[in-house]
Structure formats: structure tokens, C-alpha cells
């Protein structure tokens, strides 16, 4: 268990004390249901005679973790205290700066930057709490003459939070691989948008010497700059207010981004990974414990997929999203029943893409591999 004084961690309340209601939309999954294949020969044996291990576990409020947070899914042999925060970077900061948890969600770029140190403090479990196609994360000012990706060359481009934030690494990689637009061809300004967010001052900020990067003042809103034409484009995991409010001055580089992203998946098989789950490195010496934690995350995610599948019978009437059932059917047809897989084998190509882009963009000083970043005992998953 972490030795940090929890009374000092004011950004991370326990989920079962202060987080929003985690009631599931449909009936709880049947016992033993699951989609992620857990090989019985390597599954964790039951440890009836051992006292439960206390672990502090932190993640944001997702459907794929809801069944852990509300107690529907238990982690075998673990007495878990679950934590969350107002926004997910606050979890990252508490883990990196204060070592506040034993197990924690962490953005891939926050995690990978730590490998530039001689002794990185964490290893990952092959659990991916946030995934997102990011063609949709590239926004443009419509008066800047940008009608195709190649038009970004020579432009001034904003980026949210970090040079190489999790929502920026993938689109930059795709722009380079598929359209020949590399980061050194643009001028970058890093800052916030309208959503309140403190500067990311708890991880290194590397960038290649041949890439021009400046940092905006704390009170500067990159979304407003985009709308006014002070920047030509913006790459951001979060949509700026001017886009959400339908300003005619701004739009997306890929207006039909759903079709573009579905085609990308169809061609590459990659569902981009943004966040993983990490453990303090010393826990890697307890492979049985790590496997039970991994299995708990798998069961929670698979149980939620089962709830969505059951909801199809009633056309997802518990959710106020029109055509939600049709969207699930489309996703299953393209991506399979387990459209959000955990484990190394099903995700190696997606992980390798992040690792390659991270190195090519100058964020890590060497090309990392799955064997470098995941707990050794879970490489067989």
C-alpha cells in the first residue's frame, strides 16, 4: 500500500464517498460472464487462506470501470479503495508527483516520458481505459486556406496542455505517416482551452530542436485564438467551445471524421490508445496480485459490454441517445464483439504505434517496446 499521507491528497476523493452515482443502466452481468479471454492455465488461483491485500486504485468515472467502483465486480483477494478526481490529469499528478496510489490510470504520454529517467517508477498493466480515434481532434480556422492535411505545412497550430499530449501524439503520427506532414513543418503553441486546467508541470516537456514550440500564457484560450484566426489550427483532445457552439469560423480538418476514422480502423486494425493503468514498480514482484487486478478490470469492462448487449433487446431505452443501438451494432460489425480489448496480444499493434510516434516526435529518447513498459508477468495476456 502507498505510504503517502492520504490527508494531503485533496484532489482524489474515494469514489464510494464523493463520486457521481455509478448505478448501472441495466441488470448486472451474470456470474462468470466475460469477453476478454482469460486462459484458465494462467488464471490466478483462489487465495482463500490469505488476508485481502489493501490497494489504493485510482481512475476516472468510466462505464468500463463502473462495475468495479460500485462493487458489482470484486478483485479477488484485494481490499480496494477506489479514488477519482474532478478531471483526470489530477489523478495523473497525484500518482506521478505524490505516488498517491498503488494502481492508477495514467495517460500514455505521461507514463512514457518517465522512461527518459534511469529508473522509471511504474510499469503498465495491459488495461486501456481511454481509447479514441483522433482524426476528429484536428480543428481549423476556415479562412486559413486549409482544405486538406498538406495545407497544415507552414501553419501556426495550437495544442492542448503539452507538446505531445495524448490527444496529439496519434494525429501527428497519422499526419506524418499518411499525408507527409511532419511536426517540424508547423509552428506550435501549447496552452489551455476554455475548460479550467492548471499547467502540466509534473512531467518533462521535451521536443526536438528542429520543432518550434512556444507556451501560451495561463490565461490564453487556444479555442478563442482559433476562432479569431490568431492560430490556423488546433489539435486538442477536448473540443473547444467555439466548435461546440457551432461558430461558422471554425471546423474540423476531417469534417466527415467518423467515416475517415472507420476507414482508418478498417485498414490498420488500430483503435488508438490514450490511457493505460500503471502500478508502482515494486508491485511487479507480485505477479499473482497483478494478475488478479488485471482480471478485475477485464471483468468490469466485459460486464459493461454485456449490459450494452442486453440493452439492445430494448433498443437501449435506458439511454437518452437516439440510434444508440444502431451505433453499437455498427461498431460490433466493424470491430467485433469485444471492441475495447485488453491484454497485450490484441493490442500490440496499437501500442507499438503509440511507442513509435512517441519516439519519432522526440518525446522519448529511445524506441520503447511492449516488453519495456508492461509488467513481465502479463506479457502473455
Alpha-carbon Rg of the chain, whole angstroms?
21
Q: Would you say residue 28 has pLDDT above 90?
A: no
For residue 304, the model assigns a pLDDT of 97
Instruction: Please tell me the CATH code under which domain 6-132+272-378 is placed.
Output: 3.40.190.10
From the list 218, 134, 141, 231, the residue with the least C-alpha distance to 188 is: 231
Q: For the ranges 14-28, 217-231, 244-258, which has the lowest average pLDDT?
A: 14-28
For residue 44, the model assigns a pLDDT of 52
For residue 129, the model assigns a pLDDT of 98
Residues 204-215: pLDDT tens digits?
Answer: 999 999 999 999
For residue 10, the model assigns a pLDDT of 32
Helix, strand or coil for residue 85?
coil
Ranges of each domain in the chain: 6-132+272-378, 135-268
Q: Would you say residue 12 has pLDDT above 70?
A: no
Residues 317-354: pLDDT tens digits?
Answer: 999 999 999 999 999 999 999 999 999 999 999 999 99
Q: Would you say residue 361 has pLDDT above 80?
A: yes
Rounded to 5, what percent of the chain is helix, strand, coil? 40, 15, 45
For residue 49, the model assigns a pLDDT of 58
Q: Would you say residue 1 has pLDDT above 50?
A: no
Angle between helices 257-268 and 324-335 (to 10 degrees): 30
Identify which has the larger pLDDT, 3 or 335.
Answer: 335
Helix (H) or strand (E) holding 274: strand 273-280
From the list 115, 140, 174, the residue with the least C-alpha distance to 253 is: 140
Rounded to an integer, the average pLDDT of 350-368 is 97
Average pLDDT, the chain: 90
Res. 46 pLDDT band, cuts 50 70 90: low
Rounded to an integer, the average pLDDT of 107-111 is 98
Beta-strand pair 156-160/233-235: parallel
For residue 51, the model assigns a pLDDT of 84
Residues 177-211: pLDDT tens digits?
Answer: 999 999 999 999 999 999 777 889 999 999 999 99
Q: Would you say residue 29 has pLDDT above 60?
A: no
For residue 43, the model assigns a pLDDT of 52
Assess contact for 176 and 183: CB atoms under 8 A. yes
- The three cell numbers of residue 160 are 492542448
Within a 13 Å sphere around the CA of 344, how many CA atoms are in the beta-carbon half?
Answer: 16
State how far the Cα of 355 lies from the Cα of 368, in Å rounded to an integer.
Answer: 6
Res. 35 pLDDT band, cuts 50 70 90: low
Assess contact for 228 and 144: CB atoms under 8 A. no
Q: Would you say residue 107 has pLDDT above 70?
A: yes
Which fold does the domain 135-268 belong to in CATH?
Answer: D-Maltodextrin-Binding Protein; domain 2 (3.40.190)
Q: Would you say residue 19 has pLDDT above 60?
A: no
- The three cell numbers of residue 373 are 513498459
Res. 4 pLDDT band, cuts 50 70 90: very low
For residue 26, the model assigns a pLDDT of 36
Rounded to an integer, the average pLDDT of 133-137 is 98
State how far the Cα of 277 lies from the Cα of 124, in Å rounded to an integer.
Answer: 6
Report pTM: 0.88
Res. 6 pLDDT band, cuts 50 70 90: very low
Please check whether the two domains, 6-132+272-378 and 135-268, share a CATH topology.
yes
Amino acid at each position: 500500500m502507498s505510504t503517502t499521507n492520504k490527508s494531503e491528497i485533496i484532489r482524489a476523493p474515494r469514489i464510494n464517498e464523493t463520486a457521481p452515482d455509478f448505478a448501472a443502466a441495466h441488470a448486472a452481468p451474470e456470474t462468470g460472464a466475460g469477453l476478454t479471454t482469460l486462459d484458465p492455465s494462467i488464471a490466478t488461483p483462489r487465495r482463500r487462506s490469505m488476508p485481502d491485500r489493501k490497494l489504493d486504485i485510482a481512475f476516472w468515472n468510466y462505464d468500463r470501470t463502473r462495475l468495479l467502483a460500485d462493487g458489482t465486480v470484486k478483485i479477488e483477494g484485494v481490499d480496494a479503495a477506489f479514488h477519482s478526481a474532478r478531471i483526470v490529469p489530477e489523478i495523473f499528478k497525484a500518482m506521478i508527483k505524490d505516488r498517491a496510489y498503488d494502481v492508477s490510470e495514467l495517460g500514455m504520454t505521461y507514463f512514457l516520458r518517465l522512461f527518459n529517467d534511469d529508473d522509471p517508477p511504474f510499469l503498465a498493466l495491459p488495461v486501456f481505459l481511454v481509447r479514441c480515434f483522433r482524426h476528429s481532434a484536428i480543428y481549423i480556422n476556415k479562412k486559413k486556406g486549409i482544405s486538406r492535411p498538406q495545407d497544415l505545412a507552414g501553419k501556426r497550430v495550437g495544442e492542448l496542455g503539452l507538446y505531445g499530449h495524448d490527444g496529439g501524439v496519434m494525429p501527428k503520427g497519422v499526419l506524418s505517416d499518411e499525408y507527409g506532414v511532419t511536426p517540424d513543418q508547423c509552428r506550435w503553441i501549447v496552452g489551455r482551452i476554455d475548460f479550467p486546467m492548471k499547467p502540466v508541470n509534473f512531467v518533462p516537456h521535451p521536443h526536438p530542436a528542429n520543432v518550434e514550440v512556444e507556451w501560451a500564457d495561463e490565461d490564453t484560450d487556444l479555442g478563442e485564438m482559433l476562432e479569431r484566426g490568431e492560430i490556423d489550427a488546433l489539435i486538442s483532445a477536448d473540443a473547444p467551445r467555439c466548435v461546440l457552439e457551432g461558430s461558422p469560423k471554425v471546423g474540423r480538418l476531417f469534417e466527415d471524421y467518423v467515416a475517415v476514422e472507420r476507414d482508418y480502423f478498417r485498414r490498420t486494425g488500430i483503435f488508438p490508445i490514450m490511457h493505460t493503468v500503471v502500478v508502482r514498480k515494486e508491485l511487479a514482484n507480485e505477479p499473482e496480485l497483478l494478475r488478479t487486478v488485471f482480471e478485475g478490470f477485464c471483468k468490469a469492462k466485459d460486464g459493461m459490454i454485456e449490459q450494452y448487449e442486453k440493452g439492445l433487446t430494448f433498443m437501449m431505452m435506458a439511454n437518452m441517445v437516439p440510434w444508440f443501438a444502431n451505433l453499437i451494432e455498427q461498431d460490433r460489425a466493424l470491430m467485433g464483439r469485444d471492441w475495447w480489448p485488453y491484454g497485450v496480444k490484441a493490442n500490440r499493434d496499437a501500442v507499438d504505434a503509440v511507442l513509435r510516434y512517441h519516439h519519432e516526435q522526440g518525446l522519448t529518447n529511445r524506441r520503447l517496446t511492449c516488453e519495456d513498459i508492461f509488467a513481465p508477468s502479463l506479457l502473455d495476456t
